[in-house]
Amino acid sequence: TYVLAGTVEHGDSLGNSGLLGAGDIQWMTAGSGIMHQEMPKGDFAGRMHGFQLWANLPSSLKMTAPRYQDVKSTDIPVVVDDDGTAVRVICGDFWGKAGPVDGVVAEPIYLDVSVPPGRKKRLPVDTYRNAFDYIFAGSGTFR
């Protein structure tokens, strides 16, 4: 879960609980099983905005031990290119920075990229990876 606005209360069967705020990440691997609950709440203006991305583990890893990790916004490195493109590195390595999400079995790269209006940006994608892109503010295209 990646919270952009508002808050999310969390609790799970491993004993984890807490509150996620804007910019915070909740990383969970269900593996052999975990029960959890979330309660989204709006911000001061009543907005709740965020993402939940779900990935299917490879069959050899489906029964791995469940795990949970909270990451506060302030712990997520931001790298800025000369053209003003800013990248929050949530998981994996990018532009010389490593994201704070660790111990992930499938080695994803999870980035929040902000390209200045009117700019074009080319970002590398390893040929052995699948890529998922989503524009959630402004406009843009992918090629």
Answer for the pair 68, 104: CB distance below 8 angstroms, yes or no: no
Here the tokens at position 73 are 């916004």
Q: Is the pTM of this model over 0.85?
A: yes
Boundaries of every domain in the chain: 2-114
What would the pLDDT profile of 22-36 be if each residue is shown by its tens digit? 999 999 999 999 999
Pairwise CA distance, residues 67 & 28, whole Å = 6
pLDDT tens profile 28-66:
999 999 999 999 998 889 889 999 988 888 899 889 999
Q: Does the structural domain 2-114 have CATH classification 2.60.120.10?
A: yes
The pLDDT assigned to 105 comes to: 75
- What percentage of the chain has pLDDT greater than the value 90? 64
Q: What is the pLDDT of residues 69-117, one digit of tens each?
A: 999 999 999 999 999 999 999 999 999 999 999 878 778 899 999 999 9
Tokens 């991305």 appear where? 53
User: In whole angstroms, how far apart are CA 18 and each of 6, 52, 97, 130?
Assistant: 14, 17, 27, 32
Q: In this structure, are residues 62 and 55 in contact, taking their beta carbons and an 8 Å threshold?
A: no
105-109's contacts with Cβ under 8 Å and 24+ in sequence apart are 105/29, 105/57, 105/61, 105/64, 106/55, 106/57, 106/58, 106/61, 108/55
